[in-house]
Amino acid sequence: MRLLLVEDDKALSADLAKQLGQHGFAVDRVFDGVEAAYMGENEPYDVIVLDLGLPEMPGIDVLKQWRSKQLAIPVLILTARSAWHEKVDGFRAGADDYLSKPFHVEELLVRLEALVRRSKGITSAHIEAGGLKLDEATQSVEMSMDNRLETITLTGVEFRLLRYLMMQPGHVFSDSHLLEHVYDYDSEKESNVIEVYISKLRKKLGKERILTRRGQGYLFSVKVR
């Protein structure tokens, strides 16, 4: 999942980016409102964390600009603890959730995961499809094999790719689309990397879980023998 982190406090930004990265988000960082506005409009993010107090352009104006341009990406705003009116203004400008500073990263993570699930139309508290259940906290997947429940651990990239496919089962995603949602802006992207990780996932989960549509891409199949 691609995440845009808009926070001008460099130390906080670096710390958050590291922890979000460890939890399966491909994070791009920006430090002022003008760059935030540009990146939000031009890169395919799944969720955005937006600090309100920013140089160049206030966060609230960035958010208003995005919403006026029909940008529907879920946005969580970061506010000062005492400033209740910032929360009200934030929601009026189109925010989907907020956290007051200081906060625990665990809380940010579960809020972001819930926001993304909701935005993809998932109503349950987990990502489940085709008899597989994804555990976002441990980055593993549960599947029943021979009437037993097996837990399969995933590497970071395997988890990010499988989570993306499982959130919209039956939906065909091209290689380039998957690359854009699994990797951040700055990472080196080998052209066949998605193919390589799809094949790793098939070895772990069985061939029939992820189907190839020639010339179109990949989909997570809910119909498993």
For Ca ion, the binding residues (CB under 5 A) are: 8, 51, 53
* Minimal CB distance residue for Ca ion: 53
Q: How far is the CB of 5 from Ca ion (least distance, A)?
A: 12
Q: Which residues contact 82 (CB under 8 A, 6 or more apart)?
A: none
Q: Which is nearer to Ca ion, 8 or 41 (CB)?
A: 8
Distance (Å, whole) CA 154 – CA 36: 32
Q: Which is nearer to Ca ion, 13 or 139 (CB)?
A: 13
Distance (Å, whole) CA 35 – CA 19: 22
**Crossing angle for the helix pair 59-68 and 84-92, to the nearest 10 degrees:** 20
Q: How far is the CB of 8 from Ca ion (least distance, A)?
A: 5
Q: How far is the CB of 101 from Ca ion (least distance, A)?
A: 9
Q: Which residues contact 217 (CB under 8 A, 6 or more apart)?
A: 172, 173, 174, 175, 177, 178
Q: How far is the CB of 9 from Ca ion (least distance, A)?
A: 6
Q: Which is nearer to Ca ion, 84 or 212 (CB)?
A: 84
Q: Which is nearer to Ca ion, 8 or 135 (CB)?
A: 8
